Amino acid sequence: MKLRALLSLGPFLALLASGWPGSAPAQQFPSKTVRLVNPFPPGGPLDVLGRTLSEQLGASFGVPVIVENRPGAAGGIGAAEVARAAPDGHTILLTVYSIVTSNPHLYARLAYDPLKDLAPVVALASFDSVLIAHPSVQAGSVAELVAYAKANPGRLNYASAGMASPGHLTAEYFARRTGAQMTHVPYKGNADAVRSVLAGETQVMFTPVTVTVPHVKAGKLKALAVYLADSVDVLPGVRSLAAQGVEGFDAKSQPSWYGLLVPAGTPKEAIARINGDTLKALRDDKVAAALRSARMFPIGGTPEQFAAMIRDGHAAWGRVIRETGVRGE
Protein backbone atom coordinates (compact mmCIF):
# COMPACT_ATOMS: atom_id res chain seq x y z
CA MET A 1 0.00 0.00 0.00
CA LYS A 2 1.31 3.44 -0.92
CA LEU A 3 2.31 5.89 1.77
CA ARG A 4 -0.46 8.31 0.71
CA ALA A 5 -3.06 5.55 1.21
CA LEU A 6 -1.70 4.74 4.66
CA LEU A 7 -1.80 8.40 5.65
CA SER A 8 -5.40 8.65 4.47
CA LEU A 9 -6.30 5.88 6.90
CA GLY A 10 -4.85 7.81 9.84
CA PRO A 11 -8.16 9.10 11.28
CA PHE A 12 -9.74 5.65 10.87
CA LEU A 13 -6.86 3.91 12.64
CA ALA A 14 -7.01 6.45 15.45
CA LEU A 15 -10.73 5.75 15.80
CA LEU A 16 -10.04 2.02 16.11
CA ALA A 17 -7.39 2.65 18.75
CA SER A 18 -9.72 4.73 20.90
CA GLY A 19 -12.88 2.67 20.32
CA TRP A 20 -16.00 3.53 18.37
CA PRO A 21 -17.85 6.69 19.38
CA GLY A 22 -19.91 6.06 22.49
CA SER A 23 -18.18 2.76 23.36
CA ALA A 24 -16.36 2.29 26.66
CA PRO A 25 -12.71 1.25 26.64
CA ALA A 26 -11.85 -2.18 28.04
CA GLN A 27 -12.07 -1.94 31.79
CA GLN A 28 -8.94 -2.66 33.76
CA PHE A 29 -9.08 -4.66 36.96
CA PRO A 30 -9.38 -3.41 39.59
CA SER A 31 -10.84 -0.03 38.76
CA LYS A 32 -13.58 0.31 41.39
CA THR A 33 -14.89 -1.19 44.62
CA VAL A 34 -14.82 -4.99 44.65
CA ARG A 35 -17.83 -6.82 46.08
CA LEU A 36 -17.14 -10.05 47.97
CA VAL A 37 -20.57 -11.69 48.11
CA ASN A 38 -21.20 -14.07 51.01
CA PRO A 39 -24.33 -16.13 50.23
CA PHE A 40 -25.00 -16.78 53.93
CA PRO A 41 -25.98 -14.59 56.91
CA PRO A 42 -23.43 -12.65 58.97
CA GLY A 43 -21.76 -14.27 61.92
CA GLY A 44 -20.90 -17.65 60.47
CA PRO A 45 -17.42 -19.04 59.76
CA LEU A 46 -17.55 -18.00 56.10
CA ASP A 47 -18.30 -14.43 57.19
CA VAL A 48 -15.31 -14.44 59.54
CA LEU A 49 -13.05 -15.65 56.73
CA GLY A 50 -14.43 -13.13 54.25
CA ARG A 51 -13.94 -10.12 56.49
CA THR A 52 -10.40 -11.21 57.35
CA LEU A 53 -9.58 -11.68 53.68
CA SER A 54 -11.25 -8.47 52.46
CA GLU A 55 -8.86 -6.28 54.42
CA GLN A 56 -5.81 -7.89 52.84
CA LEU A 57 -7.26 -7.91 49.33
CA GLY A 58 -8.25 -4.26 49.63
CA ALA A 59 -4.66 -3.36 50.46
CA SER A 60 -3.37 -5.41 47.50
CA PHE A 61 -5.94 -4.18 45.00
CA GLY A 62 -5.71 -0.54 46.04
CA VAL A 63 -9.52 -0.29 46.04
CA PRO A 64 -12.07 -1.09 48.75
CA VAL A 65 -13.18 -4.71 49.05
CA ILE A 66 -16.51 -4.99 50.85
CA VAL A 67 -18.30 -8.10 52.08
CA GLU A 68 -21.99 -8.20 51.18
CA ASN A 69 -24.26 -10.85 52.70
CA ARG A 70 -26.91 -12.20 50.34
CA PRO A 71 -28.41 -15.17 52.23
CA GLY A 72 -31.20 -17.47 51.18
CA ALA A 73 -32.00 -20.64 49.23
CA ALA A 74 -29.03 -22.57 50.68
CA GLY A 75 -26.66 -20.01 49.20
CA GLY A 76 -28.48 -19.92 45.88
CA ILE A 77 -29.54 -16.27 46.05
CA GLY A 78 -26.00 -14.95 46.47
CA ALA A 79 -24.59 -17.41 43.92
CA ALA A 80 -27.18 -16.42 41.32
CA GLU A 81 -26.47 -12.73 41.92
CA VAL A 82 -22.78 -13.25 41.22
CA ALA A 83 -23.51 -15.45 38.20
CA ARG A 84 -25.55 -12.59 36.69
CA ALA A 85 -23.01 -9.88 37.53
CA ALA A 86 -20.75 -8.22 34.97
CA PRO A 87 -17.83 -10.57 34.27
CA ASP A 88 -15.13 -8.03 35.06
CA GLY A 89 -13.68 -9.32 38.34
CA HIS A 90 -15.38 -6.74 40.54
CA THR A 91 -17.99 -9.18 41.89
CA ILE A 92 -16.59 -12.26 43.61
CA LEU A 93 -18.47 -15.11 45.26
CA LEU A 94 -17.10 -16.14 48.65
CA THR A 95 -18.29 -19.71 48.56
CA VAL A 96 -18.50 -22.85 50.61
CA TYR A 97 -18.23 -26.17 48.79
CA SER A 98 -21.98 -26.86 48.86
CA ILE A 99 -22.76 -24.11 46.33
CA VAL A 100 -21.07 -26.01 43.51
CA THR A 101 -20.85 -29.60 44.76
CA SER A 102 -23.97 -30.63 46.69
CA ASN A 103 -26.61 -28.09 45.60
CA PRO A 104 -26.71 -29.43 42.02
CA HIS A 105 -27.73 -32.82 43.45
CA LEU A 106 -30.23 -31.38 45.93
CA TYR A 107 -32.29 -29.06 43.74
CA ALA A 108 -34.03 -29.92 40.50
CA ARG A 109 -33.85 -26.27 39.48
CA LEU A 110 -31.28 -23.70 40.44
CA ALA A 111 -31.21 -20.02 39.51
CA TYR A 112 -27.64 -20.56 38.34
CA ASP A 113 -25.64 -23.36 36.77
CA PRO A 114 -22.79 -23.86 39.24
CA LEU A 115 -20.53 -25.54 36.71
CA LYS A 116 -21.22 -23.20 33.77
CA ASP A 117 -22.13 -19.79 35.19
CA LEU A 118 -19.28 -19.50 37.71
CA ALA A 119 -15.54 -19.69 37.11
CA PRO A 120 -13.09 -21.01 39.74
CA VAL A 121 -10.44 -18.60 41.02
CA VAL A 122 -8.80 -20.12 44.07
CA ALA A 123 -9.45 -22.57 46.89
CA LEU A 124 -9.07 -20.68 50.17
CA ALA A 125 -9.07 -23.26 52.94
CA SER A 126 -10.42 -26.59 54.07
CA PHE A 127 -11.91 -26.79 57.51
CA ASP A 128 -12.60 -29.20 60.32
CA SER A 129 -16.04 -29.60 61.82
CA VAL A 130 -17.26 -30.78 65.18
CA LEU A 131 -20.24 -32.60 66.66
CA ILE A 132 -21.42 -30.44 69.56
CA ALA A 133 -24.03 -31.08 72.24
CA HIS A 134 -25.74 -29.08 74.95
CA PRO A 135 -24.29 -29.89 78.41
CA SER A 136 -27.61 -31.45 79.44
CA VAL A 137 -27.22 -34.26 76.91
CA GLN A 138 -26.22 -37.42 78.75
CA ALA A 139 -23.35 -38.40 76.50
CA GLY A 140 -19.62 -37.86 76.57
CA SER A 141 -18.77 -39.72 73.37
CA VAL A 142 -20.27 -40.64 70.02
CA ALA A 143 -21.14 -44.15 71.23
CA GLU A 144 -22.99 -42.75 74.24
CA LEU A 145 -24.83 -40.22 72.06
CA VAL A 146 -25.94 -42.92 69.63
CA ALA A 147 -27.05 -45.18 72.51
CA TYR A 148 -29.04 -42.31 74.04
CA ALA A 149 -30.65 -41.44 70.70
CA LYS A 150 -31.70 -45.04 70.15
CA ALA A 151 -33.06 -45.43 73.68
CA ASN A 152 -34.90 -42.09 73.53
CA PRO A 153 -36.30 -41.70 70.02
CA GLY A 154 -37.53 -38.19 69.38
CA ARG A 155 -35.77 -36.71 72.41
CA LEU A 156 -32.77 -35.34 70.48
CA ASN A 157 -33.28 -32.41 68.12
CA TYR A 158 -30.39 -31.40 65.91
CA ALA A 159 -29.94 -27.90 64.54
CA SER A 160 -28.66 -26.87 61.14
CA ALA A 161 -28.21 -23.71 59.08
CA GLY A 162 -31.25 -24.66 56.99
CA MET A 163 -32.88 -27.37 54.92
CA ALA A 164 -30.33 -29.20 52.78
CA SER A 165 -27.48 -27.20 54.36
CA PRO A 166 -24.14 -28.94 54.97
CA GLY A 167 -25.04 -29.49 58.64
CA HIS A 168 -28.34 -31.08 57.66
CA LEU A 169 -26.64 -33.42 55.17
CA THR A 170 -23.93 -34.40 57.63
CA ALA A 171 -26.37 -35.14 60.45
CA GLU A 172 -28.56 -37.29 58.20
CA TYR A 173 -25.48 -39.12 56.95
CA PHE A 174 -24.43 -39.68 60.58
CA ALA A 175 -27.91 -41.00 61.43
CA ARG A 176 -27.81 -43.43 58.51
CA ARG A 177 -24.37 -44.67 59.48
CA THR A 178 -25.09 -45.09 63.20
CA GLY A 179 -28.83 -45.64 63.52
CA ALA A 180 -29.21 -42.60 65.78
CA GLN A 181 -32.76 -41.24 65.79
CA MET A 182 -32.81 -37.44 65.82
CA THR A 183 -35.21 -34.74 64.63
CA HIS A 184 -34.06 -31.96 62.32
CA VAL A 185 -34.72 -28.33 63.29
CA PRO A 186 -33.55 -25.93 60.52
CA TYR A 187 -32.56 -22.32 61.25
CA LYS A 188 -31.76 -19.32 59.09
CA GLY A 189 -27.99 -19.52 59.22
CA ASN A 190 -25.25 -21.23 61.17
CA ALA A 191 -25.01 -18.57 63.89
CA ASP A 192 -28.71 -18.93 64.76
CA ALA A 193 -28.37 -22.71 64.82
CA VAL A 194 -25.44 -22.60 67.24
CA ARG A 195 -27.37 -20.20 69.47
CA SER A 196 -30.22 -22.70 69.60
CA VAL A 197 -27.91 -25.38 70.97
CA LEU A 198 -26.45 -22.93 73.47
CA ALA A 199 -29.97 -22.14 74.67
CA GLY A 200 -30.98 -25.79 74.86
CA GLU A 201 -33.70 -25.33 72.23
CA THR A 202 -31.94 -28.07 70.29
CA GLN A 203 -29.49 -30.57 71.69
CA VAL A 204 -26.86 -31.39 69.05
CA MET A 205 -25.37 -30.02 65.85
CA PHE A 206 -22.68 -30.63 63.26
CA THR A 207 -20.86 -27.36 62.56
CA PRO A 208 -17.45 -25.95 61.60
CA VAL A 209 -15.12 -25.71 64.58
CA THR A 210 -14.71 -21.94 64.18
CA VAL A 211 -17.68 -20.64 66.11
CA THR A 212 -17.80 -23.32 68.80
CA VAL A 213 -14.39 -23.31 70.44
CA PRO A 214 -15.02 -20.42 72.90
CA HIS A 215 -18.31 -22.00 74.01
CA VAL A 216 -16.71 -25.42 74.49
CA LYS A 217 -13.88 -23.94 76.54
CA ALA A 218 -16.44 -22.04 78.65
CA GLY A 219 -18.36 -25.25 79.34
CA LYS A 220 -21.46 -24.02 77.49
CA LEU A 221 -21.19 -26.77 74.85
CA LYS A 222 -19.73 -30.27 74.73
CA ALA A 223 -17.54 -31.33 71.81
CA LEU A 224 -18.12 -35.03 71.16
CA ALA A 225 -16.12 -35.55 67.97
CA VAL A 226 -14.26 -33.82 65.15
CA TYR A 227 -14.20 -34.93 61.54
CA LEU A 228 -10.68 -35.02 60.25
CA ALA A 229 -8.16 -36.01 62.89
CA ASP A 230 -7.54 -36.56 66.57
CA SER A 231 -5.78 -34.08 68.82
CA VAL A 232 -7.25 -30.93 67.29
CA ASP A 233 -5.08 -28.19 68.76
CA VAL A 234 -8.02 -25.97 69.69
CA LEU A 235 -10.06 -28.89 71.08
CA PRO A 236 -7.51 -31.15 72.80
CA GLY A 237 -8.72 -34.61 73.74
CA VAL A 238 -11.62 -34.65 71.28
CA ARG A 239 -11.35 -37.71 69.04
CA SER A 240 -12.40 -37.96 65.39
CA LEU A 241 -15.54 -39.74 64.26
CA ALA A 242 -13.42 -42.40 62.55
CA ALA A 243 -11.48 -43.03 65.77
CA GLN A 244 -14.83 -43.53 67.49
CA GLY A 245 -15.95 -46.11 64.97
CA VAL A 246 -17.98 -44.03 62.49
CA GLU A 247 -16.81 -44.43 58.89
CA GLY A 248 -17.34 -42.09 55.96
CA PHE A 249 -16.35 -38.83 57.63
CA ASP A 250 -13.10 -37.63 56.12
CA ALA A 251 -11.75 -35.14 53.60
CA LYS A 252 -12.23 -37.56 50.70
CA SER A 253 -15.78 -38.67 51.50
CA GLN A 254 -17.02 -35.22 52.53
CA PRO A 255 -14.63 -32.59 51.15
CA SER A 256 -15.24 -29.32 52.98
CA TRP A 257 -13.65 -26.09 51.79
CA TYR A 258 -14.12 -22.41 51.09
CA GLY A 259 -13.13 -20.70 47.85
CA LEU A 260 -13.58 -17.79 45.45
CA LEU A 261 -15.61 -17.87 42.23
CA VAL A 262 -16.37 -15.18 39.65
CA PRO A 263 -18.91 -14.91 36.82
CA ALA A 264 -18.10 -17.07 33.82
CA GLY A 265 -16.44 -15.03 31.12
CA THR A 266 -14.32 -12.98 33.52
CA PRO A 267 -11.03 -12.16 31.76
CA LYS A 268 -8.15 -14.48 32.56
CA GLU A 269 -6.06 -11.46 33.54
CA ALA A 270 -8.54 -10.49 36.25
CA ILE A 271 -8.77 -14.07 37.52
CA ALA A 272 -4.98 -14.28 37.63
CA ARG A 273 -4.77 -11.02 39.60
CA ILE A 274 -7.37 -12.15 42.15
CA ASN A 275 -5.69 -15.54 42.45
CA GLY A 276 -2.22 -14.07 42.96
CA ASP A 277 -3.28 -11.47 45.50
CA THR A 278 -5.34 -14.04 47.40
CA LEU A 279 -2.36 -16.40 47.60
CA LYS A 280 -0.35 -13.49 48.98
CA ALA A 281 -3.07 -12.80 51.54
CA LEU A 282 -3.13 -16.44 52.65
CA ARG A 283 0.59 -16.15 53.45
CA ASP A 284 0.07 -13.01 55.54
CA ASP A 285 0.80 -13.59 59.23
CA LYS A 286 -2.51 -12.05 60.34
CA VAL A 287 -4.58 -14.15 57.97
CA ALA A 288 -2.61 -17.30 58.75
CA ALA A 289 -3.18 -16.78 62.49
CA ALA A 290 -6.91 -16.24 61.93
CA LEU A 291 -7.12 -19.43 59.91
CA ARG A 292 -5.28 -21.43 62.54
CA SER A 293 -7.51 -20.18 65.35
CA ALA A 294 -10.57 -21.13 63.29
CA ARG A 295 -9.18 -24.59 62.51
CA MET A 296 -8.99 -23.77 58.80
CA PHE A 297 -6.19 -25.07 56.62
CA PRO A 298 -4.93 -22.88 53.74
CA ILE A 299 -5.12 -24.49 50.30
CA GLY A 300 -4.28 -22.01 47.53
CA GLY A 301 -3.25 -23.29 44.11
CA THR A 302 -4.29 -22.41 40.58
CA PRO A 303 -7.80 -21.94 39.13
CA GLU A 304 -7.31 -25.24 37.29
CA GLN A 305 -6.53 -27.07 40.52
CA PHE A 306 -9.61 -25.53 42.14
CA ALA A 307 -11.71 -26.69 39.18
CA ALA A 308 -10.50 -30.25 39.80
CA MET A 309 -11.45 -29.97 43.48
CA ILE A 310 -14.93 -28.88 42.46
CA ARG A 311 -15.33 -31.86 40.13
CA ASP A 312 -14.16 -34.29 42.82
CA GLY A 313 -16.41 -32.71 45.43
CA HIS A 314 -19.39 -32.84 43.09
CA ALA A 315 -18.95 -36.61 42.77
CA ALA A 316 -18.29 -37.22 46.50
CA TRP A 317 -21.27 -35.22 47.77
CA GLY A 318 -23.47 -36.85 45.14
CA ARG A 319 -22.78 -40.19 46.82
CA VAL A 320 -23.62 -38.78 50.27
CA ILE A 321 -26.88 -37.26 49.04
CA ARG A 322 -27.97 -40.45 47.34
CA GLU A 323 -27.36 -42.36 50.59
CA THR A 324 -29.27 -39.90 52.78
CA GLY A 325 -32.12 -39.20 50.39
CA VAL A 326 -32.09 -35.51 51.40
CA ARG A 327 -33.64 -33.13 48.87
CA GLY A 328 -33.79 -29.36 48.82
CA GLU A 329 -37.08 -27.52 49.09
pLDDT tens-place string over residues 90-117? 999 999 999 999 999 998 889 999 889 9
Q: What's the rounded Cα separation, in Å, for the pair 138 and 133?
A: 9
Mean local confidence (pLDDT), 83-93: 97
Confidence of residue 163 (pLDDT cuts 50, 70, 90): confident
Reply yes or no on whether the pLDDT at 14 is more than 50: no
Q: What is the pLDDT of residues 206-234, one digit of tens each?
A: 998 877 889 999 999 999 999 876 555 67
Contacts of 248 (CB under 8 A, 6+ apart): 173, 177, 254, 320
Q: Are strands 34-38 and 65-69 parallel, antiparallel or unpaired?
A: parallel
C-alpha Rg value of the chain to the nearest Å: 23
Q: Which residues pair with 157 in a beta bridge?
A: 183
Mean local confidence (pLDDT), 48-57: 92
Q: Distances from the Cα of 12 to the Cαs of 8, 169, 184, 246, in angstroms?
A: 8, 61, 68, 72
Alpha helices in 138-219 (DSSP H): 142-151, 166-178, 190-199, 213-217
Confidence (pTM) = 0.80
Q: What is the CATH number of domain 129-226?
A: 3.40.190.10
**What CATH class is the domain 34-126+253-324?**
alpha beta
Same fold, 34-126+253-324 and 129-226: yes
Mean local confidence (pLDDT), 250-275: 93
Reply yes or no on whether the pLDDT at 26 is more than 70: no
Q: Residue ranges of the domains in the chain?
A: 34-126+253-324, 129-226
Please give the pLDDT value at position 19. Answer: 37
Please give the pLDDT value at position 230. Answer: 58
Q: What is the pLDDT of residues 113-139, one digit of tens each?
A: 988 999 999 999 988 889 999 999 999
Helix, strand or coil, per DSSP, at residue 302: coil
Q: Which residues pair with 226 in a beta bridge?
A: 130, 240
Enclosing H/E stretch for 93: strand 91-96
Q: What is the pLDDT of residues 263-292, one digit of tens each?
A: 999 999 999 999 999 999 999 998 888 888
* Better-scored residue on pLDDT, 327 or 62: 62
Please give the pLDDT value at position 73. Answer: 83
Confidence of residue 8 (pLDDT cuts 50, 70, 90): very low
Please give the pLDDT value at position 86. Answer: 96
- Percent share of the chain, pLDDT over 90: 62
Average pLDDT, rounded, for the chain: 87
Please give the pLDDT value at position 121. Answer: 98
Please give the pLDDT value at position 213. Answer: 85
Reply yes or no on whether the pLDDT at 15 is more than 50: no
Confidence of residue 148 (pLDDT cuts 50, 70, 90): very high
Please give the pLDDT value at position 27. Answer: 62
Please give the pLDDT value at position 10. Answer: 43
Q: What's the rounded Cα separation, in Å, for the pair 211 and 305?
A: 29
Q: What is the pLDDT of residues 291-325, one digit of tens each?
A: 887 778 899 999 999 999 999 999 999 999 999 89
Reply yes or no on whether the pLDDT at 159 is more than 80: yes
Q: What's the rounded Cα separation, in Å, for the pair 72 and 308?
A: 27
Mean local confidence (pLDDT), 58-73: 94
Q: What's the rounded Cα separation, in Å, for the pair 100 and 75?
A: 10
Cβ contact 97:234 at 8 Å: no
Cα dihedral value 84, 281, 310, 112, nearest 10:
-10
Reply yes or no on whether the pLDDT at 13 is more than 60: no
Angle at the Cα of 179 from the Cα atoms of 174 and 184, rounded to 5 degrees = 60
